[in-house]
Chains A and B, each alone.
Chain A
Amino acid sequence: MKNRLKLLRVERGWTQEQLGQELGVSRQAVNALETEKHDPSLDLAYRIAVVFDRPVEDIFENPHA
């Protein structure tokens, strides 16, 4: 799923490891999200939205829209 996760992470100067700690997932999971090798669950998508203080739709492109 296309997303702006890497852009948002880099804007905050975080490493994948740091973002993973914020989200409670591994660095590999963050990398998989950024490279579109993993679609997040609804729960993880909402956690990401809270961390970046943005709506889910601002971070992940709706593939059905």
Chain B
Amino acid sequence: MLMTAKPATAAHKRYTIRTLAFMSGYVAVMVALIFGAFDEIQGKPAAWILAAAVTAPIVGQIWATLALMRETDEFFRAVMAKQFIIASGLAMALFTGWGFAESFAGAPHAPGWYIYPLFWGLVGLTAPFIRSSQG
């Protein structure tokens, strides 16, 4: 045998655990925000700290994704990269379009942080159709 295969399931289990860990932090901040826990710090320096803190789980998620790509095989890597490029491209296109609609067509304001859940929603929507590393 050339080498021992790392079971894809083990890498995916680690990815799931890391994702849940990072996303639970992100969701906790979002839930607290929705229920007004940060209303008192609006416009104060503490709000900048909160804004910086909420980016940490996202950076962690990027690390978890890169770790999964490192731990899986070249086919998974290629398909995953393709899924992320398509989802991030669509998220940027939609958000850019919405931004212009806000500025010039009177569309309601969409906060910038919407782009991250939008990205993951698009990953979920497009991933089932991206099963090949080709084209």
Contacts and interface: CB of A to CB of B under 8 A. Distances in A.
Contacts, number: 55
A24 B6 CA distance: 7
B73 interface: yes
A38 B2 contact: no
Interface in A17-37: 20-26, 28-29, 32-33, 36-37
29 contacts: A21-B5, A22-B1, A22-B2, A23-B2, A23-B5, A24-B2, A24-B3, A24-B6, A24-B73, A25-B5, A25-B74, A26-B5, A26-B72, A26-B73, A28-B8, A29-B74, A32-B75, A32-B132, A32-B133, A36-B134, A37-B131, A37-B132, A37-B133, A38-B75, A38-B78, A38-B133, A38-B134, A44-B74, A51-B2
The 5 closest A-B pairs by CB, nearest first: A29-B75, A37-B132, A25-B73, A24-B3, A26-B8
Given A23-B5, A24-B3, A29 B132 contact: no
Interface residues of A, number: 21
Taking chain A's interface residues, is the majority helix, strand, or loop, or is none over half, making it mixed?
A: helix
A24 B75 contact: no
Interface residues on B, range: 10 to 19
Contacts of A23: 2-3, 5
Interface of A: 20-26, 28-29, 32-33, 36-41, 44, 47, 50-51
A21 to B, nearest CB: 5
